[in-house]
């Protein structure tokens, strides 16, 4: 599970570089904290932060169509203790044994009264989801926040194995602005992606994507300069460039033909939209590329 310390972010301008632009996607691509999984037929399913969790599908990663939400209005009553009006965050989707698994968070901005839940579906379609219940939660007295879930290593029923916590990354500057962690294995390394700085301030957002790696999922993680992630280490791989503002809220998935795709949202004056790029690991570190 992702359990980085959550604190309010303060501004730090992301570096502008000549990264490839996001893929030319069309259709319903107004998203936040997107996560994509592939079904057995090679169809793409995108889940995003929204009221009742929006579902968007595509056959080619270019044309996207919204097909509805996971939950009907007012259905997800088990989240009411943590969320307002069914606003649910940061879904993390996986397709396991012909079934969709989606972890998601319920909270409000600035609060640690938060929880992570699991839902499953055989079809992925609206109205076909089963609430598997609470996975974990936090209260205002905790020093971490139960948001932005990711499950690399969990029991078969999707629960957490035990209540012990392992801190993987921490910042001591900018009010500790780090969140949205995502753990992904390539070869012998586990790569810890995270979003730094200001998320949700429109065109004034300064989100950017960082990475550190380890040979163990429990760390220690270090960046390309050898700085431990617990001491603020994190190599910048994607930041504001050109008209692409504050990319972040990232996830990663194994795409067709054993390629790896980076999924994120970015900001324009018109809102928050879907960005897709490839990741090349040939040097041992992820390099953002044009989408194949």
Q: Which residues are catalytic?
A: 33, 179
Let me know: does 146 contact 136? Beta carbons within 8 Å: yes
Which residues touch 126 (CB under 8 Å, ≥6 apart)?
Answer: 55, 67, 68, 69, 70, 72
Q: Which residue has tokens 């139960």?
A: 146
- How far, in Å, CA of 99 to CA of 33, rounded? 22
Dihedral sign for Cα atoms in the order 139, 208, 220, 158 = positive
> Looking at residue 215, what DSSP letter applies?
S
Let me know: does 182 contact 193? Beta carbons within 8 Å: yes
Record the tokens describing residue 70, joined without a space. 């996971």
Which residues touch 218 (CB under 8 Å, ≥6 apart)?
Answer: 166, 168
Which residues touch 4 (CB under 8 Å, ≥6 apart)?
Answer: 144, 148, 167, 168, 169, 170, 178, 179, 181, 194
Let me know: does 64 contact 274? Beta carbons within 8 Å: yes
- How far, in Å, CA of 261 to CA of 60, rounded? 13
- How far, in Å, CA of 33 to CA of 49, rounded? 6
- How far, in Å, CA of 10 to CA of 6, rounded? 12
* Per-position DSSP letters for 85-103, written without gaps between them: TTEEEEEEEEE-SS-EEEE
- How far, in Å, CA of 227 to CA of 73, rounded? 46
């Amino acid at each position: 599970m992702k359990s980085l310390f959550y604190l309010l972010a303060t501004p730090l301008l992301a570096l502008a570089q000549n990264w490839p632009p996001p893929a030319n996607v069309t259709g319903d691509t107004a998203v936040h904290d997107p996560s994509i999984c592939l079904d057995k037929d090679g169809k793409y399913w995108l889940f995003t932060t929204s009221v009742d969790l929006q579902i968007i599908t595509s056959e080619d990663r270019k044309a996207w169509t919204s097909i509805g939400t996971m939950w009907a209005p007012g259905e997800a009553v088990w989240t009411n203790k943590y969320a307002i009006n069914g606003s649910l965050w940061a879904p993390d989707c996986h397709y396991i044994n012909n079934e969709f698994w989606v972890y998601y968070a319920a909270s409000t901005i600035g609060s640690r009264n938060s929880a992570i839940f699991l839902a499953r579906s055989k079809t992925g379609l609206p109205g076909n989801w089963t609430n598997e219940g609470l996975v974990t939660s936090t209260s205002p007295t905790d020093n971490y926040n139960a948001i932005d879930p990711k499950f690399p290593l969990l029991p078969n029923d999707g629960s957490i194995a035990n209540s012990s916590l392992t801190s993987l990354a921490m910042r001591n500057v900018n009010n500790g602005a780090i969140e949205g962690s995502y753990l992904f294995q390539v070869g012998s390394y586990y790569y810890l992606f995270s979003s730094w700085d200001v998320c949700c301030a429109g065109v004034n957002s300064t989100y950017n994507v960082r990475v550190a790696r380890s040979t163990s999922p429990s760390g220690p993680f270090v960046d390309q300069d050898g700085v431990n992630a617990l001491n603020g280490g994190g190599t910048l791989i994607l930041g504001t460039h050109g008209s692409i503002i504050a990319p972040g809220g990232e996830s990663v998935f194994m795409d067709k033909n054993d390629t790896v795709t980076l999924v994120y949202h970015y900001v324009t004056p018109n809102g928050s939209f879907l960005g897709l790029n490839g990741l090349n690991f040939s040097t041992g570190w992820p390099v953002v590329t044009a989408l194949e």
